[in-house]
Each structure stands twice: as C-alpha cells, then as structure tokens.
Copies of this chain bind each other. A is one copy, B any other.
C-alpha cells in the first residue's frame, strides 16, 4: 500500500483525555478515532490489526473443534427473561425499545441466545458434545468508559459455548478451551497467565481469567516465579490436542500460585516467600463452567442413549478481541511508539523512500515495492514527498516489524538500510539480501 493513497492520520501529540499508553498510541498511530464516549471507529491500520487478531483467535477455536456461527447484536428481552437475567443484569445492559414498543437489548453476551438455538435444534445425545462460537460486537454501557478500547462500550468479543452430556465431558471441553486460550495468546506474542476467578454474573463452579503481563497493566497480580518461567518458555503452538494435555496444564496452574488482587491468598504467599513476585496485568479472556444453570432454566434436554432426557452441561469462553489490541500495545511499545508482534502487525515492512523528489530513489523504491508485493510481503510504502525525519518518526510510531530505507548515498553503494523495529538493529544490505531478510524471518 502506498502511503500517498492511504488514510493514515497520525498525530504528534496525544489528546489530553487519553490516560494510558495504549490509548495514546492507538490515537497517535491512526488506529482508532472515538466517535462517541467509549465507542470507536477502526481506521484502516487499526482495522487490519483487528482482523489479524480475530483470525488467530478463530484459527485456534477451529483447531480445538469449535464451530463458528454468528448471532445478531440485537436480542429480545423475552429471551433474557427465560434465564431470569433480564432484571438482574443492571444498567450495563443497553436496553432498547423498537417502533412497536417491544423490549430489546444490545447483547452484552450470548448464553441465553445460544441455549435457545441449541435447545430448539437438537434432540439426541448424538448431537453432543458441541462447542459453538461467534465473533461479534457486544455492548456494555460502562458508567465511565475510558482507557480507549480497553474499557470501551462497543467491543468485539469471541464467545464460545460448550454443550456436553455430563460433567466429565464438560470438563474436557473446558480443558480444551484452556489449551486453545494459552495457544492463542502465545501466537499473539503475549505472556498470558490463567488465574482462578470468580464466576460473577455468568454463574458456575469453575472459572479462569487469562491475564496478560504488562508493566502498564490495569491491575496488580501476584505470581509464583515458576509460573512466570513456564509461561515464558512455553511454546504451545506446536502441541497436539490430547486427552490429558488440558488436565496437565490445568494441574500445573492449580499447583502453582498466580492470583489477581481480588483472589490473593496471603497465607500461601507467606509460605512461598520471595518466590512470589508482583506484576501488573490485563484481563484478556475469561472462561466458565456453569453446568446446567442455563440449560435447566431454559428447559433444554436431549434424549440420552437409554431414552431418558439429559440436561446438557454448559460452559462459556470469552476473549476480548478488540481489547487485545490495547493489551498487545501495553505489553509491546517504547518511547517512539508501538512494536507490533509479527503475527498481528498491520504490514510486515515499512518501505521509506528518503527522497521522493529524486527520480533514481523513486525508481529504486517503486521497484523494491513491486518486488516485495510480488513476494507476498505486506508492505506499507512511504512514497510521500516529506522530510526523512518525519517518515522515520511515523514508521517508528506505527511499529511495523521491519523498515527498509532507500536513499541516494546507499544507492551509490548499492545498498539499502534494513532496521528491525523491536531491537533498533540496522544493517546495510543489497536489495536482494534485504528482500530475503524481511521475507525469511
């Protein structure tokens, strides 16, 4: 993409109302713009990152055997009366009346709707187990929306729902999602730690939050050193699913200590002494096992193998897809701007022509751009007639993994400069070697 034809409005200064670093950088780097309190438009660069995060989340759900579908944003209040949550949910639910004065709402979550769909379209034990998920916009009417997409009102969530015949099966589904979550966050370049959590308004017996570590995170967490070591060395992306993989991982996190501020065990911390370290973190996922809470309330049952009715056991599994973008930036930035992990970077390479007014430089840059595109390397090409300094600052701000700089002095020597954004390391390479370097890593 040529920057001269793009829509990438960057800002030198961040607006005064942006308090945290991810919010500041998302505004400055032209990823988002606020269109109402806690409601954002995703500008082209931000949209690309959002789609990449979404795709990784999707691939790991699919790999775990979950089936994608899509439920609407607007729901009927009657559906929520079936579970008893309509009155209980409180003012965070955006309640709506349509032109016929029917009570509707903008879904904050979908337990009721998926339970109704599954109830009305399954009959037999053979229809289970199943995990269904969707990636859809949700709305929670936060009283004080802030911190950009970290605590917005309209946000993109992946929510999955499992249906099993018995508690043992439900636990297997839960463990499968547990692994899928660890894998998802690892692929996103994040260090995410599962921590036991309260079940809150979802209800249920077993629940984990997944907390991304970031120095600028929203909340304090207390973690045993062994957990930090494990999560930073874990490469889960190569693991095959097996029956005991989930139980083994869950057992590790049960045996070792990691707790949010609300769930601290001071006695245990005292025992562990200086093995427990304090960190800051951001919640990016939450999973729940809640048994028959919704299936029983909403009258769902299937015919069991022996002909008698069985009430399915359920769980639900959420990932804040739009929130993840903020979390990734909190975890990966420096004073100059964002440092995108390769997997979610909006483009892989930023190509800078230092002298757009110089025919030789422009020709060489056009040619290199065409070759990078032909090699399948997603490239943002700064072909504008601007000062070199401003171009460097923009590239550092938007944080693409690689930068390639073409200038007259380098061309005299037959080289371009290749910079790795994360380390700042710069090397001069021939055009051939530059392409190989950015394409190969």
A9 touches B121 (CB 8 A): yes
B69 touches A42 (CB 8 A): yes
Asked if A116 CB lies within 8 Å of chain B CBs, one says: yes
A9 touches B122 (CB 8 A): yes
Residue in B5, B76, B92, B134 whose beta carbon sits within 8 Å of that of A35 in the complex: B76
Scoring A residues 35 to 54 as 1 if CB is less than 8 Å from chain B, else 0, what string do you get?
11101111110110010000
Residue in B9, B36, B106, B113 whose beta carbon sits within 8 Å of that of A41 in the complex: B113
B122 touches A154 (CB 8 A): no
A130 touches B7 (CB 8 A): yes
A201 to B39 alpha-carbon distance, docked (Å): 26
A30 to B74 alpha-carbon distance, docked (Å): 21
Residue in B9, B44, B71, B122 whose beta carbon sits within 8 Å of that of A68 in the complex: B44
Residue with the greatest number of chain B CB neighbours at <10 A, chosen from A42, A69, A120: A69
What is the size, in residues, of chain A's interface with B at 8 Å between Cβ atoms? 57
Asked if A408 CB lies within 8 Å of chain B CBs, one says: no
Residue in B35, B39, B130, B134 whose beta carbon sits within 8 Å of that of A117 in the complex: B35
Residues of B within 8 A of A96 (CB): 94, 96, 106
Residues of B within 8 A of A65 (CB): 5
* Closest chain B residue, CB of each to CB of A141: B99
Residues of B within 8 A of A387 (CB): none
A8 to B143 alpha-carbon distance, docked (Å): 40
A258 to B35 alpha-carbon distance, docked (Å): 41
Asked if A98 CB lies within 8 Å of chain B CBs, one says: yes
A106 to B39 alpha-carbon distance, docked (Å): 12
B71 touches A35 (CB 8 A): yes
A75 touches B120 (CB 8 A): no
Scoring A residues 120 to 161 as 1 if CB is less than 8 Å from chain B, else 0, what string do you get?
111000110010101001010101000000000110000000
Residues of B within 8 A of A39 (CB): 72, 74-76
B9 touches A98 (CB 8 A): no
A306 to B50 alpha-carbon distance, docked (Å): 39
B40 touches A72 (CB 8 A): yes
* Closest chain B residue, CB of each to CB of A104: B36
Asked if A67 CB lies within 8 Å of chain B CBs, one says: yes
Residue with the greatest number of chain B CB neighbours at <10 A, chosen from A42, A72, A130: A72
Asked if A6 CB lies within 8 Å of chain B CBs, one says: yes
Residue in B9, B68, B71, B154 whose beta carbon sits within 8 Å of that of A74 in the complex: B154
How far is the CB of A357 from the nearest CB of chain B, in Å? 15
Q: With A67-B44, A113-B41 in contact, do A137 and B73 touch (Cβ < 8 Å)?
A: yes
Scoring A residues 86 to 115 as 1 if CB is less than 8 Å from chain B, else 0, what string do you get?
000001101010110010101000000100
A69 touches B94 (CB 8 A): no
Asked if A196 CB lies within 8 Å of chain B CBs, one says: no
Pull 21 A–B residue pairs with CB atoms less than 8 Å apart, ordered by A. Answer: A4-B126, A5-B65, A7-B67, A7-B130, A39-B74, A39-B75, A41-B69, A41-B113, A42-B70, A43-B69, A44-B68, A47-B69, A47-B70, A73-B73, A73-B137, A73-B154, A91-B99, A94-B96, A96-B96, A98-B141, A137-B137
Measuring CB to CB, which residues of chain A are less than 8 angstroms from any residue of chain B? 4-7, 9, 30, 33, 35-37, 39-44, 46-47, 50, 65, 67-76, 79, 91-92, 94, 96, 98-99, 102, 104, 106, 113, 116-117, 120-122, 126-127, 130, 132, 134, 137, 139, 141, 143, 153-154
